[in-house]
Amino acid sequence: MRGFVNLICIFLLSLSVAGAQQTAAKPASTGAAKPATSSADNLPSEATVDAFLHQQFGYQPDVTWKIASIKPSQIPGLSEVDVVLANPQGQQMTKFYVGADGKHALVGEIIPFGARPFEPVKKTLEKGVSGPSRGPKEAPVTIVEFGDLQCPACKQAQQPIEQLVAAEPNARFVFQNFPLEMHNWAMKGAEYADCVGRASTDAFWKFVSKTYETQADITAENVDEKLTAIADGAGVKGSDIAACAAKPETKAHVDASIALGKSVEVGSTPTLFINGRRISSFDPRLADVYKGLVDFAAKNN
């Protein structure tokens, strides 16, 4: 995995260097400045983005990329480009932003700002979450996880997240399906999980835990067989869950969960929100930090 991490670092470094190579400053305009806008009319073309990525990675024959989206960003004047980078070590979603002049790009996370910066996302999640939950509904803190059952990082994070939730009996925990397109059975896993969750909340947590435990044994070819058996073991009738997973309304439930995640800028898994504060790079080694965030949120609700 180290080689892939280095790949991302090289990409970020190259963009940072490109952004630092500014041309000479132009004289200030005497007229009123017009606000920059970012719309479908001035988004970079897919051909331009592809050519840019070719310049960044063309020297590495084992690196491939897929442009996931090109869209206006939250900040006027910037276009957001989402890209899936891949090499033999794995895949990773990354993003960068292109200026309105079409000549500069920057990397970094756009974060909310203001006296209560996390409140808008908190309210969006309060209205939109629909996944299985545990803990008191009127809890002062709500922890929302957007997860993907095929995601190795989600599997690694499961136990630390469970420990965080167990240590906070007055917090509410909600799981939202967010299967990533790069995973070939994640959508099927989300559909099974959705059906199990609607059948039994207790069975849902068992289903998720066992799916992560046996993640490496599940393939796109045997996913129905494996998940049906896991559902049986979790305490619900596997054949009923399989039938439910194949229904169009189940896909609609999962699609709604994905849309909710995208509306609050989820781009990778696992992503957690603690009263609206986004943790997009969950690190199991930072358990004390996350507990501190939960305690802080409870006191400043």
Q: pLDDT per residue over 185-217, tens digit each?
A: 999 999 999 999 999 999 999 999 999 999 999
Asked whether residue 189 falls in the same domain as residue 66, the answer is no
Please tell me the predicted confidence (pLDDT) of residue 219.
97
- Percent of the chain whose predicted confidence (pLDDT) is above 70: 86
3-state secondary structure of 264: coil
The stretch 65-81 carries a mean pLDDT of 92
Dihedral sign, Cα of residue 40, residue 41, residue 45, residue 49: negative
At 84, the pLDDT band (50, 70, 90 cuts) reads confident
Please tell me the predicted confidence (pLDDT) of residue 169.
82
User: Which one has a higher pLDDT value, 108 or 114?
Assistant: 114
Tens digit of each residue's pLDDT (9 = 90 or more) over 32-43: 444 455 456 689
The stretch 9-30 carries a mean pLDDT of 43
Beta bridge pairs of residue 174: 133, 144
User: Which one has a higher pLDDT value, 280 or 256?
Assistant: 256
Asked whether residue 181 falls in the same domain as residue 100, the answer is no
Asked whether residue 281 falls in the same domain as residue 165, the answer is yes
Asked whether residue 55 falls in the same domain as residue 158, the answer is no
What would the two tokens of residue 82 be? Answer: 């989402």
Asked whether residue 150 falls in the same domain as residue 290, the answer is yes
Q: In which residue are the tokens 């009263």 written?
A: 275
What CATH number is associated with residue 12? 3.10.450
Question: Domain for residue 258, yes or no?
Answer: yes
User: Which one has a higher pLDDT value, 149 or 88?
Assistant: 149
Dihedral sign, Cα of residue 77, residue 91, residue 180, residue 168: negative
Tens digit of each residue's pLDDT (9 = 90 or more) over 214-233: 999 999 999 999 999 999 99
Cα 188 to Cα 185: distance, rounded to the nearest angstrom: 5
Give the HSE-up count for residue 258: Cα atoms under 13 Å, Cβ half-sphere.
Answer: 15
- What is the identity of the amino acid at 295? D
Question: Domain for residue 31, yes or no?
Answer: no
Please tell me the predicted confidence (pLDDT) of residue 28.
41
- CA end-to-end distance (rounded Å), the chain: 39
Range of the domain at 59: 2-18+36-106
What CATH number is associated with residue 268? 3.40.30.10
Question: Domain for residue 211, yes or no?
Answer: yes
For residue 292, pLDDT beyond 50:
yes
Question: Domain for residue 142, yes or no?
Answer: yes
The number of distinct structural domains making up the chain is 2
Asked whether residue 266 falls in the same domain as residue 186, the answer is yes
The stretch 276-282 carries a mean pLDDT of 89
Please tell me the predicted confidence (pLDDT) of residue 39.
56
Asked whether residue 183 falls in the same domain as residue 251, the answer is yes
Asked whether residue 172 falls in the same domain as residue 237, the answer is yes
For residue 13, pLDDT beyond 90:
no
At 113, the pLDDT band (50, 70, 90 cuts) reads very high
Asked whether residue 97 falls in the same domain as residue 216, the answer is no
For residue 124, pLDDT beyond 50:
yes
Question: Domain for residue 147, yes or no?
Answer: yes
Question: Domain for residue 30, yes or no?
Answer: no
The stretch 92-114 carries a mean pLDDT of 89
Kindly report whether the global pTM for this prediction surpasses the value 0.85: no
Contacts 24+ apart (CB under 8 A), 38-41: 38/72, 38/73, 38/75, 38/76, 38/77, 38/78, 38/79, 38/100, 39/72, 40/72
Asked whether residue 95 falls in the same domain as residue 179, the answer is no
Beta bridge pairs of residue 79: 72, 98
Q: Of 80, 106, 132, which closes a domain?
A: 106
Asked whether residue 192 falls in the same domain as residue 270, the answer is yes
Radius of gyration of the chain (CA): 21
Mean pLDDT estimate for the chain: 87
The stretch 168-189 carries a mean pLDDT of 94
Question: Domain for residue 114, yes or no?
Answer: no
Asked whether residue 94 falls in the same domain as residue 131, the answer is no
Pairing of strands 133-134, 105-106: unpaired
Please tell me the predicted confidence (pLDDT) of residue 94.
85
Listed in sequence order, the DSSP H helices in the chain are 2-20, 46-57, 119-128, 152-166, 186-199, 201-213, 223-234, 238-245, 248-263, 287-299
Question: Domain for residue 26, yes or no?
Answer: no
Pairing of strands 277-279, 271-274: antiparallel
Cα 37 to Cα 45: distance, rounded to the nearest angstrom: 16
Cα 195 to Cα 176: distance, rounded to the nearest angstrom: 13
What would the two tokens of residue 172 be? Answer: 């509410």
Q: Of 55, 74, 106, which closes a domain?
A: 106
Q: Of 53, 83, 106, which closes a domain?
A: 106
